[in-house]
Amino acid sequence: MDYKKYIAERLTVEGVSEEEIYCSISLPPNSEMGDYALPCFKFSKVLRKSPVMIAEGLKSSYKTDDVIKEVSAVNGYLNFKVNKVGLASAVLNEILDGKEKFGASEEGKGKTVCIDYSSVNIAKPFHIGHLSTTVIGGALYKLFKFLGYNVVGINHLGDYGTQFGKLICAYKHWGDKDEVEKGGIHAINELYVRFNSEADEKMEKEAREYFRLIESGDKEANEIFEWFKALTLKYVQGIYEKLGVTFDSYAGERFFIDKMQPVIDELRAKNLLKESEGAQIVDLEAYGMPPCLILRSDGASLYATRDLAAAYYRKNTYDFDKCLYVVAYQQNLHFKQLFKVLELMGNEWAKDMVHVAYGMVSLEDGAMSTRKGKVVWLEDVINKCVEKACAIVEEKNPGLENKREIAEKVGVGAVIFGALYNNKIKDIVFSYDKVLSFDGETSVYVQYTCARANSVLSKAEEEISIPEGYEPAAQEFEVIKQLASFPAILKEAADKYEPCYIARFAVDLAQKFNKFYIDCKILSAEGDAKNFRLALTKAVLQALKNALTILGIGIPEKM
């Protein structure tokens, strides 16, 4: 049950929507004052009254009941005290009945969200720079599904461009079939790097010719290209499996080459296309942006042209309610231009396109992404994290069974959580020690808390039943309130496209549970207290599992 909603539904503030009231209600850090609080200074401007007066007014009109027992107005805050017994039993029942469905909803029923994420480039390294798009997109994918949406995960492959002519040329000169087959993406990438450092004018010319051959449907050139593509996809799919992400479509840039003409025709028909130095552009000066290049002077299409065609295709194919692009903020301008052009073309749905931008990831030693040949492959980061996790597990608990499996979950989880824990727009410096710390704000800490809860539950002999009328102590009630907030957190995370809210929820819940665990006996308690605490432990474990699962993180039974 969403208590914030319960309160918001029962409050009327003139000129303020229920949604706004809902979002303003917070959990005060000190629950002496109240369990939920509504700061009223935000409404001062609309109501032209002081926050103190507003709070007083709201207090006198609010009718308390069996759910909200007490309302007080203090210093411009409206504080609510809930019926602790009622809330505790409602929350525990909801979780233990709902199990893996706890937090799920039907709000997305009948709505479709397209999520463009990870979008790998064929034959190029899959590096640390692709971490955020992959795990943020993957988490949003699972989150929207959990909220009942129909979700289409799209990997908009970077599979078009003159670089493929260069690659084929390099392969023809220096390549070896078996070596490439064996070395996969690494071998292909080496060929590409070598071309860029060694190719002379003659090879450059050949490369252009190979590109033209791919374009014109030449059998051999296309076979080589398809082979490179297959090797790249096979490679990234191994990583996707580890990270637990999936896609429903791999329609990449090449897929849209024969779908651009109608869009170009429409641009022309709507008088949006202008010639500039031989190229075709859409002038966006009136909107404070440089022009959007549609066709180069040689008639070749651009990244934006293919994205325009892709947007139409997605609308026509999936009839989305939202179309998200999980792409680094470096492409802010590209998406602003793209959305503006779609709007100028008269598409009312242009407002449903969202660029979910995120910041850069760098490693502690300063290494980043593609400085010539010096690339940090994402696979290496994952492997290193798993190796380190192995050593930690070995040191902490050498007697454990399935240590390797546990270390996989811990190591991979740490990589995911490391990229998800902060607001997505922030640049992050990835530190192995930090993400693998047992007592930081980490997935390891959350996983360890799950193992602790599991261990308590496995030692309990009785069937777990929720006692009636049990009045929770302060530490217990903190956990209850945190649990109760989960559905609202999920909704907020979806509204703002911020998986980090879920990650923070998990850390907060783990911290509150651990405080309860240290302060209150569980297994040696008796009667209702014991029952309640066991039920609470079970509920915490379930909520943590649900949260981590949405983020794509596995939960070891033991650690």
Q: Is 94 in the site for ligand ARG (CB under 6 A)?
A: no
Contact map string, positions 235 to 274, toward ligand ARG, x by CB under 6 A = ----------------------------------------
Q: Is 119 in the site for ligand ARG (CB under 6 A)?
A: yes
Which of these ranges, 116-124, 162-170, 289-297, 432-440, lies near ligand ARG under the rule CB under 6 A?
116-124
- 158/556 with CB nearer ligand ARG: 158
Per-residue tokens: 199: 């190719």
Rounded-to-integer distance, Cα 541 and Cα 537, Å: 6
Q: Is 121 in the site for ligand ARG (CB under 6 A)?
A: yes
3-state class of 75 per DSSP? Answer: coil
Name the residue type at position 529: A
3-state class of 255 per DSSP? Answer: helix
Per-residue tokens: 505: 């929820």
Q: How far is the CB of 435 from ligand ARG (least distance, A)?
A: 24
Length of the chain: 559
Contact map string, positions 144 to 163, toward ligand ARG, x by CB under 6 A = ------------x-x-----
- 31/119 with CB nearer ligand ARG: 119
- 49/259 with CB nearer ligand ARG: 259
List Cβ neighbours of 497 (8 Å cut-off, separation of 6 or more). Answer: 140, 324, 354, 356, 424
Q: How far is the CB of 345 from ligand ARG (least distance, A)?
A: 17
Q: Is 116 in the site for ligand ARG (CB under 6 A)?
A: yes
Q: Is 531 in the site for ligand ARG (CB under 6 A)?
A: no
- 127/166 with CB nearer ligand ARG: 127
- 327/450 with CB nearer ligand ARG: 327
DSSP alpha helix (H) spans, 244-302:
261-269
The residues in 327-346 that bind ligand ARG, with binding defined as CB under 6 A, are 327
Residue 350: CB atoms within 10 A of its CB come to 18
Contacting residue, 94, 206, 307, 408, with ligand ARG by CB under 6 A:
307
Q: How far is the CB of 521 from ligand ARG (least distance, A)?
A: 53
Pair 55, 67: CB distance under 8 Å: no
Cα–Cα nearest to 121, from 207, 210, 235, 260? 235
Alpha-carbon distance values, 13 to 49, 57, 105, 118 (Å): 12, 10, 28, 43
Cα–Cα nearest to 312, from 303, 320, 301? 320
- 6/325 with CB nearer ligand ARG: 325
Cα–Cα nearest to 428, from 436, 420, 438? 420
Rounded-to-integer distance, Cα 515 and Cα 315, Å: 49
Q: How far is the CB of 410 from ligand ARG (least distance, A)?
A: 29
Q: Is 408 in the site for ligand ARG (CB under 6 A)?
A: no
Residue numbers of the site for ligand ARG (CB under 6 A)? 116, 119, 121, 156, 158, 307, 310, 325, 327
